Amino acid sequence: MSDKSGFFERVYEVCRKIPEGRVTSYGAIAKYLGAARSARMVGWAMNSSHNLEDVPAHRVVNRKGILTGKHHFGGSNAMQQLLEAEGVKVQDLQIIDFQKYFWDPMKELS
DNA sequence: AAATTGACCGCGC
DNA sequence: AGCGCGGCCAATT
């Protein structure tokens, strides 16, 4: 652990710090890591994080609050179910009041 | 070993 | 105001 050799390890760490009932965007995480332009990389990190149980990737959505990666959660609406189960209202793969549930790592963690 | 994709975001026209 | 493209790092084929 403490393997800072990878950009991913850092992403996992932030994802794990996401409180329940809260969501964040790829760009926010990327920006917190100092790579605002590497938002795509965050998506890849999640792909690996899929093997890790400590990383709630279902709390990570895109900038619009849309569950872009719900297809990677098993091909079902599992991701939406998980969010709703935590108190986040999701409609048609889009989070309602996304701005209200938005959790900024560099603003909350700072 | 090289080329392409990948759960994105911000800017340009 | 709407559509398109380039950029970032790494993994996959």
Q: What is the pLDDT of residue A103?
A: 95
Query: CA–C1' span, A53 to B9, in Å?
Result: 27
* pLDDT tens readout for residues A21-73: 999 999 999 999 888 888 989 989 998 888 888 999 999 999 999 999 998 88
Contact status, residue A88 vs residue A101, Cβ threshold 8 Å: yes
Predicted confidence (pLDDT) at residue A5 exceeds the cutoff of 70: no
Q: pLDDT confidence of A2, banded at 50, 70, 90?
A: very low
- Note the maximum CA span of chain A: 38
pTM of the entire predicted model: 0.91
Strand C contact with A93 (CB < 7 A): no
Strand B contact with A36 (CB < 7 A): yes
Query: In a 10 Å sphere around its CB, with 0-12 CB exposed, 13-18 middle and 19+ buried, how is residue A7 labelled?
Result: middle
Predicted confidence (pLDDT) at residue A79 exceeds the cutoff of 70: yes
* pLDDT tens readout for residues A86-101: 999 999 899 999 999 9
Query: CA–C1' span, A42 to C7, in Å?
Result: 14
Domains of chain A: residue spans and CATH: 7-102 (1.10.10.10)
Residues whose CB is less than 8 angstroms from the CB of residue A65 and which lie 6 or more positions away in sequence, other chains included: A23, A25, A94, A95, A98, A99, A102
Q: What is the pLDDT of residue A83?
A: 95
In angstroms, the CA A25 to CA A102 distance is 8
